[in-house]
Structure 1
């Protein structure tokens, strides 16, 4: 056997001897990669589910202290996640609604430098958001209703709804949350009156 043949045979035997170890290393690397990808997917799913569980918890907590169509003031410092990041510059109130008895009209004659409102279904999903730029002027006056109820309102518009913003939602029950901003101490009495005069009523 010539030297080149002897060398080739030696390299071939070496490659064959090493191939099981190389295969084990490849399998281990593949398993580690799958584990990392799986852990990443689980982490993302958990992050997506945490807000939903927190928001559903907010619905349960509000139901324990508030009846339907009742404006309930909320301490922003102790607010649950659905109600937003705690900020003492904001005052908040919430109202549980059930549209099976009719549309819900939310309004106040009070004024605030800025207000926003969010409507959630009973599962904690945000169905709609609006603020003081959504309607005519900066008055809070909106009606939450189902698409079927909207058809009836178009046919016969109640006088109380003539200045209202209409919010159609694909759910019959849920929570609406209103936030108002008080930029300094001088605004706090006005914002307090904004909520004190707020109504949430089935029409």
Structure 2
């Protein structure tokens, strides 16, 4: 005779307001990381956050609203823009920051959600697109400064260079499942700089 499985542990009570909101959003990220978008339930998020599910429904009309808010909360923040004095140093800092982020629970949650059926829902597709566009916009000064210093050709398109920079990282994460680390980031910088200096990253 097998023993019954223990009930999921309920998180500590978190009260209301900002503490409740933070706990629920953190719990949503945890559920996305562990079970994925398709298996996420409001009951499980409430259990993890230590709130009643009616509290969640009062603040988020649908699970998609909750997921969108959780991802935005974790990623739509000010991104420190490096200014090391060289484009190589700046791009290395950006690439290593991306690698560090994608190795966190929130980064893995973003990736699994972006690759799931969630990407087909208009709200989450819009959030995903906005998050990436915001990241590129914030990082553009790294490229424009480098052009101004003469380190890159004048026709270098910031968005094209930044997409080239992150592509090797996301290829490993999405297609090969290989781990990403500082060495991955540094190789991505070398590839992006070589492409820019070969004058193949002009605006389309």
Fold agreement, TM-score > 0.5: no
Which of the pair has the greater relative contact order for Cα pairs under 8 Å at 6+ separation?
1
Would you tell me which structure has more helix in proportion to its own residues? 2
Would you tell me which structure has more strand in proportion to its own residues? 1
With the shorter chain as reference, the TM-score category is under 0.3
Q: Which has the larger radius of gyration?
A: 1
